[in-house]
Chains A and B, each alone.
Chain A
């Protein structure tokens, strides 16, 4: 089981967190085309490599955090609170 370095709680087993998937920018609601909105909902890059994703520390500080994780090695090189 990998560990996630929570910016508030420190290294914790990933089963305390929920993976909320790749970070996506929410399009402006009035202006978004159907394609842009559907891309926001469903399109994921899913690379073998570095990905910026969002995790929620459900059984800990209950903060959403941004994490940069390598999908093959599971190395995490960055972790910070969301909304910063």
Chain B
């Protein structure tokens, strides 16, 4: 080992390389498994560690074999780390930052002495389906198995206390979105932008350029020109360290943008932006797929030893990060890129002991290792054994066709080139450029991409397609030897630890279709998601079955193409909440809040039972603003009401109010509420709070689709009015103090009537005399901007009457005491109107109304009935949803239950089979703790004041 390098910056660090991306003037320090290391700005975690001669980064998933660098890119299967709080960081991609704390993820107790590597010794027992077969029986041991398996599984640690971070989302509307910022992607982007298209150019690495970045002088100068052109074009937005993760219907394209600490604001705009990751939802006019090609590993014995790496990995390490891959190398090459790797290695002083040329029949058979498992020698096809610490393979390319699959294409295998190509099934809005489309010189690829870019711009603009007339110059296809597996067995899936031997075994067990084999062996299902291993897996399977690769086919690539963090999917927490104008008062007065259907509401102000007693004895006010309110205008409103409700509406006088129930067309109770007539052609309908939106939509549906001839306008005014219910024996006295222009006397303003007037000096208020709580009560609807004013006025004016504010819980108790059902609480998606005790309301003599035929049939049928129930033991409140049983037979359920402070006992509503639904019947309630208690069916649904004396005040 040479001692000429400064150990502080890494003993494998080379002198300055022309295209290097590290900044030697900016050294930094980080921690790897508790030890401190040095790096340069621009290093990835892996390049920094390699420079310091750290060569083993993880233990493999199943057999716990040592793993080093393989691809030196995002995909590198053995280079996944825990960085601070963040698990599963791709260490061969992520740039190292000052002070980073990095730990190996899958080595227990340490990387060097991995207890679980005994799995290697029992490898033959860990064949395909091992876990399925072993951890099955007996069932009672499943929890134990889970613990064992958890310890063996890879993956980092997520701390529940870790900072949740700032994740963001953004919508984009590029005319042309280019996936891949290599030379072809850049050329396509430039050509599209020159034709006026707005272009989003997305590159997975930190810089544009693709393979030009680690090429020779010609590549570097071509790249400099391309980069300058992009920088000079305002029509191109570049996202680096970003990846297209999926293409969905209508070119809806998901882009994961990751933070780049080198860019201002991390690449997210203004300085100081804390965004970690951003999900860009792009609607692209045309998508140009230009991801380049992924180099494929070769399958042979020992191919996963640290020291065996791809030609692109070797060239990236040398040229981008100035890291020497080793001291003595063997290169196995089948193409020009392998040959380039030989010159790169020689140039930086690596001794190339042997170049094994596959084009001339050369082969590698086995990589053997020393005590630490790392590569020590290679055995060639002719049996020669050569000592070395690096084996570079260049056996061919995989086309990453994921986005094409997602766009509906079925890529086809081209044996001559030994790779898959687009299958011709792409929509007009998806084009391909670069290596995924074919072969050529840099000039030819760029020229082709420029035509693709021009076509994309034209199609996005909806103008004549220049390429359609004169078919774009197709790229040629170079011959490439088909090299997948050699004559020994080796690793196919490096992430999932699946060897070619496992695949052969699986095929022999009958899993001989690629989709079955994938799921049985988990090959291609690991973090690299098939980009390195799919084609090798297909090749091994075709070997076993004697089919060709074309006949075998591939698995289907599905989104996401690259991993997406849950934080990015979540983005900022946008949970809409709705507030009444009085909500600030509630919060300032100790309200315990609840959220119901987006509305924040006061549940109670400390003691709901005392709120109930205040209302029953004196007077209380509740904020019922969320109640749905629809303003109905027009001459045909009565016809509409007759259609919507099960009861009759033709004779409602001005100033009158009626309760109504709506059923859906299947006869199930949909909503209820009161509707009042304010003027000749002016009505207001109230709905439940939760049903407000649904009912509006339903009403519009009837008007727009069945009765477009009816002259009715519906306007939702739920939040135009703040609504306050004044309830209790003193409610009339209280309202009289703030309202002087309406005669509130019992006979002038009777129960179930509506009046307009001025409340607390606010004109334009409606007052409804109705009563959900069972007490004399007025529901006052105030122009919402004055809601808080009126609320405060009522509390001040009612102070000597003993007024209190009450919340939703007190109202629920009172309505239950009164036996009023709540749609959605006491009813569900099966509740028939007749069963809910609404028989008295349904008018089957009306010609038509929603759900009428079902109600006609219902009338003659048996169905569970809504009943009042009182437990024999008044202290027991059966939880809602407790079952009603006869022996082991379920005969009903409790839908609502509370302790009634008025009656000082427990009370319920529930559904009960009709043959038992009679006053006085005893039933058994099965409590969740398995106790059985007795309860009795009450005479009326109302437990309190069934005659309505209080209500009519």
Q: Which residues of A contact B (CB under 8 A)?
A: 1-3, 13, 18, 20, 26, 29-30, 32, 34, 37, 40-41, 54, 56, 58, 62-64, 74, 81-84
Interface residues in chain B, defined as those with a beta carbon under 8 Å from any beta carbon in chain A? 248-250, 252, 283, 665-666, 697, 700-701, 704-706, 708, 847-848, 852-854, 857
Determine how close the nearest CB of chain A comes to the CB of B713; give it in whole angstroms: 12
A74 to B852, CA, bound (A): 36
> Of A1, A20, A37, A41, which one neighbours B701 at CB under 8 angstroms?
A20
**CB pair A29 B705 closer than 8 Å:** no
Contact check, A64 vs B249: say whether CB atoms are below 8 A apart: no
Q: Evaluate contact between B250 and A2: CB separation under 8 angstroms.
A: yes
CB within 8 A of B852: which of A13, A20, A29, A40?
A29
Residue of B nearest to A3 (CB): B250
B253 CB to nearest chain A CB (Å): 11
Question: Which chain B residue shows the least CB distance to A84?
Answer: B708
9 shortest interchain CB distances as A-B pairs: A83-B708, A64-B704, A2-B249, A29-B848, A82-B705, A1-B252, A37-B853, A83-B704, A3-B250
Q: B697 and A56: CB pair below 8 A?
A: yes
Contact status A54-B853, CB under 8 Å: no
Contacts of A40 in B (CB 8 A): 665
Chain A to chain B contacts (Cβ below 8 Å), 10 pairs: A2-B250, A37-B853, A37-B854, A56-B701, A58-B697, A64-B700, A81-B704, A82-B705, A82-B708, A83-B704
Q: Determine the distance from Cα of A5 to Cα of B249 in the docked complex, in whole angstroms.
A: 14
| Contact of A74 with B250 in the complex, beta carbons under 8 Å | yes
Chain A residues near B847 (CB-CB < 8 A): 29-30
Residues on the A chain within 8 Å of B706, using CB? 26, 83
Across-interface contacts of A1 in B (CB, < 8 A) = 248-250, 252
Are A64 and B701 in touch, CB under 8 angstroms? yes
Contacts of B705 in A (CB 8 A): 54, 64, 82-83
Q: What residues of chain A lie closer than 8 Å to B666, measured between beta carbons?
A: 41
Tell me how far the C-beta of B693 lies from the nearest C-beta in chain A, rounded to whole angstroms.
Answer: 8
Contact residue among A20, A29, A58, A62 (Cβ-Cβ distance under 8 Å from B853): A29
Nearest residue (CB) in A for B849 is: A29
- What are the residues of chain A within 8 A of B852 when measuring CB–CB? 29
CB-CB under 8 A from A30, the residues of chain B are 847-848
Residues of A within 8 A of B704 (CB): 63-64, 81-83
How far, in whole Å, are A29 and B704 apart by their CA atoms in the complex?
19
User: Which among A13, A62, A84 is the interface contact of B700 at CB below 8 angstroms?
Assistant: A62
Q: Are A18 and B252 in contact (CB under 8 A)?
A: no
Contact call B665/A41, Cβ cutoff below 8 A: yes
Measured in the bound complex, the distance between the Cα atoms of B708 and A83 in whole Å is 6
Residues on A with beta carbons closer than 8 Å to the beta carbon of B250: 1-3, 74
Residues in B whose Cβ lies below 8 Å from that of A32: 853
Report how far A54 CA is from B698 CA in the complex, Å: 13
A41 to chain B, nearest CB (A): 5
- Other A-B contacts than A3-B250, A34-B857, 17 sampled, CB-CB below 8 A, are A1-B249, A1-B250, A3-B283, A26-B665, A26-B706, A40-B665, A41-B666, A64-B700, A64-B704, A64-B705, A74-B250, A82-B704, A82-B705, A82-B708, A83-B704, A83-B706, A83-B708
Which single residue of chain B is at the shortest CB-CB distance from A26?
B706
A2 partner residues in chain B, CB cutoff 8 A: 249-250
Docked complex Cα distance between A54 and B853 (Å): 23
Chain B residues lying within 8 Å of A18, measured Cβ to Cβ, are 697
- Nearest CB on A from B143, distance (A): 41
For the complex, give the distance between the alpha carbons of A37 and B855 in Å.
12
**Which B-chain residue is minimally distant from A30 (CB atoms)?**
B847
**Cα distance, A32 to B697, chains bound together (Å):** 26
Measured in the bound complex, the distance between the Cα atoms of B706 and A56 in whole Å is 14
Complex alpha-carbon distance, A15 and B766, angstroms: 37
Bound-state CA distance A26–B853 (Å) is 12
**Shortest distance in angstroms between A1's beta carbon and chain B's nearest beta carbon?**
5
Q: Which of B252, B665, B705, B706 has the most CB of A within 10 A?
A: B705
Task: Name the residue on A nearest B846 (C-beta).
Answer: A29
Residue among B248, B283, B704, B857 with the highest chain A CB neighbour number at 10 A: B704
Cα A41 to Cα B705 in complex, Å, equals 16
- Per the bound structure, the CA–CA distance linking A43 and B89 in Å amounts to 51
A57→B504 CA distance, assembly (Å): 54
Bound complex: CA A36 to CA B248 (Å): 39
Instruction: Indicate the member of A3, A37, A81 with the most B CB atoms within 10 Å.
Output: A37
Q: State A41–B697 Cα separation when bound (angstroms).
A: 18
Please report the C-alpha to C-alpha distance between residue A58 and residue B665 in the assembled complex, in whole angstroms.
Answer: 21
Report the separation of the CA atoms of residues A56 and B283 in the bound assembly, to the nearest whole angstrom. Answer: 22
- Chain B neighbourhood of A63, CB < 8 A: 704
Least Cβ–Cβ distance between A83 and chain B, in angstroms: 4
Bound-state CA distance A37–B857 (Å) is 11
Inside 8 A of B283's CB, which chain A residues have their CB? 3, 13
Of all chain B residues, which has the CB nearest A62? B700
What residues on A are CB-neighbors of B854 within 8 Å? 37
Complexed CA–CA distance, A20 and B700 (Å): 13
Q: Which residue of A lies closest to B848 (CB)?
A: A29
Q: How far does the Cβ of A40 sit from chain B's closest Cβ, in whole Å?
A: 8
Q: Whole-angstrom distance between the alpha carbons of A56 and B857 in the complex?
A: 31
Closest to B427 in A: A73
Q: How far is the CA of A47 from the CA of B678 in the complex (A)?
A: 48
Alpha-carbon distance between A20 and B702 when the two chains are bound, in angstroms: 13
Contacts of B848 in A (CB 8 A): 29-30
CA distance A43 to B666 in the complex (A): 13
Please report the C-alpha to C-alpha distance between residue A15 and residue B420 in the assembled complex, in whole angstroms: 36
* Contact A74/B853 with A56-B701, A63-B704 known, Cβ cut-off 8 Å: no
Q: Which residues of A contact B853 (CB under 8 A)?
A: 29, 32, 34, 37
A82 to B705, CA, bound (A): 6
Contacts of A3 in B (CB 8 A): 250, 283
Smallest beta-carbon distance A65→chain B, Å = 9
Max chain B CB contacts within 10 Å: which of A29, A40, A58?
A29
Q: How far is the CA of A34 from the CA of B701 in the complex (A)?
A: 23
Instruction: State the CA gap A20–B697 with chains docked (Å).
Output: 11
Q: How far, in angstroms, from A5 to B665 measured CA to CA in the complex?
A: 29
Q: What chain B residues lie within 8 Å of A62 (beta carbons)? A: 700
A26 CB contacts on chain B under 8 angstroms: 665, 706
- Name which of B283, B666, B853, B854 has the most chain A CB atoms within 10 A of its CB: B853
User: Complex Cα distance A24/B852, Å?
Assistant: 17
Q: How far is the CB of B235 from chain A (nearest CB, A)?
A: 23
Q: Which residues of A contact B857 (CB under 8 A)?
A: 34
Tell me the minimal C-beta distance from B646 to chain A in angstroms: 13
Q: Which residues of the other chain, B, contact A41 by a CB distance below 8 angstroms? A: 665-666
Q: Which residue of A lies closest to B704 (CB)?
A: A64
Q: Min CB distance, B277 to chain A, in Å?
A: 21
**B700 cross-chain contacts in A, Cβ below 8 A:** 56, 62, 64
CB of A2 to closest CB in B, whole Å: 4
For residue A64, which residue of chain B has the nearest CB? B704
Instruction: Give the distance in Å from the alpha carbon of A63 to the alpha carbon of B717 in the complex.
Output: 18
CB distance from B342 to the nearest CB of A (A): 49
How far is it, in angstroms, between the C-alpha of A56 and the C-alpha of B708 when the chains are bound? 15
Contacts of A74 in B (CB 8 A): 249-250
> Closest A-chain residue to B709, C-beta based?
A83
Q: In the complex, A2→B248 CA distance in Å?
A: 8
**CA A18 to CA B305, docked complex, whole Å:** 55
Chain A residues, CB < 8 A from B701: 20, 56, 64
Complex CA distance for A75 and B535, rounded to whole angstroms: 33
Q: How far is the CB of A23 from chain B (nearest CB, A)?
A: 9
B444 CB, nearest partner CB in chain A, Å: 34
Q: Say how far B571's CB is from chain A's closest CB, in angstroms.
A: 15
| A81 to B181 alpha-carbon distance, docked (Å) | 44
| Shortest distance from the beta carbon of B375 to any chain A beta carbon, whole Å | 49
Residues in B neighbouring A58, C-beta threshold 8 A: 697
Output the least CB separation between A84 and chain B (Å). Answer: 8
Roughly how many angstroms separate A41 CA and B857 CA in the complex, as a whole number?
A: 15
CA distance A64 to B852 in the complex (A): 23
Across the two chains, which residue of chain A brings its CB closest to B664? Answer: A41
Q: How far, in whole Å, are A16 and B854 apart by their CA atoms in the complex?
A: 32
Bound CA–CA A74/B252 (angstroms): 13
Give bound CA distance, A82 to B249, whole Å. Answer: 25
A41 and B852 alpha carbons, distance in the complex (Å): 13
Name the B residues within 8 Å of A84 (CB-CB): 708
